[in-house]
Structure 1
């Protein structure tokens, strides 16, 4: 059995029918000119055929999907145009009118809109559990619950869901589980190892790793992925050929990037804990994180994502200090997204303000003094120095 670093370079090669080391970009909408009607019918009806029509699949997408499925330890995977295309397609392939979904209090903001606004429009009820309390999931389940939707670590507050507990509970109740694994990446965590049925990613983030593409991925059994593929044919969120190629290229260095990012994030989090102007640090790799022991049980590494809360006499002063720090940072860019080679920082209360009420932000653990940090691969001394000079100007 090969190691993950080797798989990242060599998995999925059967879809590259050329002799090129790097597969070509198949920049075409129609891939297949059949020799006869029987061949055409077979290609048109085969799920995820790599040489039929772009919305069905293409060779580089198939190669990339096979690689990601191997990373997550699942039978199959399906690429989509964005992370939200992956999340919405996966969810809609499971639920129907009259069903009930159990979700968490803390989710990526766009996923929260899907759960709060879109699903109820189609007769799907959604209840919310405290992901830090296993009993909360049990209490939220109803007779018509068909899906438990998870995200761990959660965006942005880095709360951890007990995957083994939820996986076993859902199996007992015959409920499908979906977990967003974007914050962790399959290098740090594989939800399928703990009984989770379907894993989704915004591949824009760690999997791509260079902030130059948008993509999503759905991983699971052949049956689950084929159901999602049929739904995707209607929803239309197919990944473009060039973006599939960029994603495959980015995956080559995933293990190296994530190792460096994990190391940087831990050292930066430890430095923040010692700084007098930082009120709180949320990083699941720190012993001070309330779920650190659980994180150690289900994660191999602790991600490059962390949150800090800038100190202040009241929330208004915290907000002003957080904005001041944002404006004075040089290396850390104040920009959306995460998981790239470059370090980024955002103010979650501002980002989430469009989609969340004040009450919802508080339930999700978001306050006005919080900064969400995506640590990159720069030298750790430079990253610390950047925050040191910015905090000194408060």
Structure 2
């Protein structure tokens, strides 16, 4: 067991996922770490209490359970430290509050997760932060948008719902010339298929609700920072009092053990369905970065190690008046696909995308956008269900 750490550092992805985050020898040989329910932590004497000279001091500041998960995420991200927060949205808002102040200017990609835009346009604006949205295709050209008071550049690749790719390295390099913090929502790829910090990002954001959980039953976010930005992130979490439950932390850690296997299955099935959709009548476009036909495919192929199970397609329609009726007919006919938000679980999901909040990346003109989460069901069953949807849409 002495060479365990070295062994894991040299091991394959699935091997590492099975063993990172805890050492059984720390807990009497038990394979999984204990679930520690805690608020109060006792000190042996006043001096220790005053100096906080012990590892654990209060439940909000970490427990063996949360530490095990944070250690696993740090291993995957290559980060100096990770915080756990109650949701994927909190994983965006906490670092924004950590690095932005009144009078600052922030650049946010226009294809951003919609609740992130709402937070920026409401709370951040109310707190005196100026928000500007930029084209995801801007690349190094983002430097022309940076002002003396620009403090943060937020990226997301692929973009939410429409999957625009970004040249993360070019954006990060340009932003760092002006001292900006670069954050990235990396939920789609997970650290298995893209490691943001390796491409110049300072803070990697992840909705652990999705693939780390894998079963549509937990809400959690992780935020991982490099050495230069870890202290401010950690301080913000302590100040805001954001912390997840020990039971959820344990379940996310358990989900990591099979995440590599699940992601591989999601990837293969989603690509098979996307390729099938490309050749089917009634489809105007398929929005999947791993398809050679997709505008951002070259960036995806250059920088990413894989693709996950969520993508969109444009349902062909004859004019705006048909958009919603066709989409409703398509979705209402589905049986295997559930109609629900979120993704990353074992089950297939479908939703009609609302892009009304976009300012630059406008909604496609050919028809409504349908987002699919391809689950772990058999591909032939998934396609058969989609065929039923197309048959219903064709009657509209």
Matches within 5 A, 1:83-94: 83-94=88-99
CA distance in 2, matches of 1:362, 1:53: 44
Q: Does the 8 A contact of 1:218 with 1:225 survive in 2?
A: no
Task: Return the offset for 1:365.
Answer: 3.7
- Between the two proteins, the alignment pairs up a number of residues equal to 381
TM-score by length of 2: 0.92
Q: Does 1:243 align with 2:248?
A: yes
Task: Return the offset for 1:139.
Answer: 2.1
CA distance in 1, matches of 2:344, 2:149: 36
CA distance in 1, matches of 2:93, 2:143: 24
Q: What is the aligned partner in structure 1 of residue 219 from structure 2? A: 214
Q: What is the aligned partner in structure 2 of residue 43 from structure 1? A: 52
Matches within 5 A, 1:11-30: 11-14=20-23, 16-30=26-40
CA distance in 2, matches of 1:383, 1:341: 13
Q: What is the aligned partner in structure 1 of residue 296 from structure 2? A: 291
Give CA deviations for 1:17-37 in whole Å, capped at 9, x if unaligned: 34321222112222x211112
Q: What is the aligned partner in structure 2 of residue 259 from structure 1? A: 264
Q: Does the 8 A contact of 2:155 with 2:185 survive in 1?
A: yes
User: Residue 144 of structure 1: which of 129, 146, 149 is its match?
Assistant: 149
TM-score by length of 1: 0.92
CA distance in 1, matches of 2:135, 2:277: 27
CA distance in 1, matches of 2:287, 2:130: 31
CA distance in 2, matches of 1:2, 1:383: 34
Q: What is the aligned partner in structure 2 of residue 344 from structure 1? A: 349
Q: What is the aligned partner in structure 2 of residue 230 from structure 1? A: 235
User: Residue 139 of structure 2: which of 134, 142, 150 is its match?
Assistant: 134
Give CA deviations for 1:66-123 in whole Å, capped at 9, x if unaligned: 1111111222211111111111111111111111111111111111112222111111
CA distance in 1, matches of 2:352, 2:236: 35
CA distance in 1, matches of 2:96, 2:85: 14
Contiguous gaps of at least 5 residues in structure 1:
353-357
Task: Return the offset for 1:157.
Answer: 0.7
* Backbone CA RMSD of aligned residues: 1.8
Q: Does 1:10 align with 2:10?
A: no
Q: Does the 8 A contact of 1:98 with 1:125 survive in 2?
A: yes
Q: Which moved more, 1:250-259 or 1:216-225?
A: 216-225
Q: Which moved more, 1:279-288 or 1:54-63?
A: 54-63
Q: What is the aligned partner in structure 2 of residue 379 from structure 1? A: 378
Describe the SS at the equivalent of 2:62.
coil
Q: Which moved more, 1:299-308 or 1:130-139?
A: 130-139
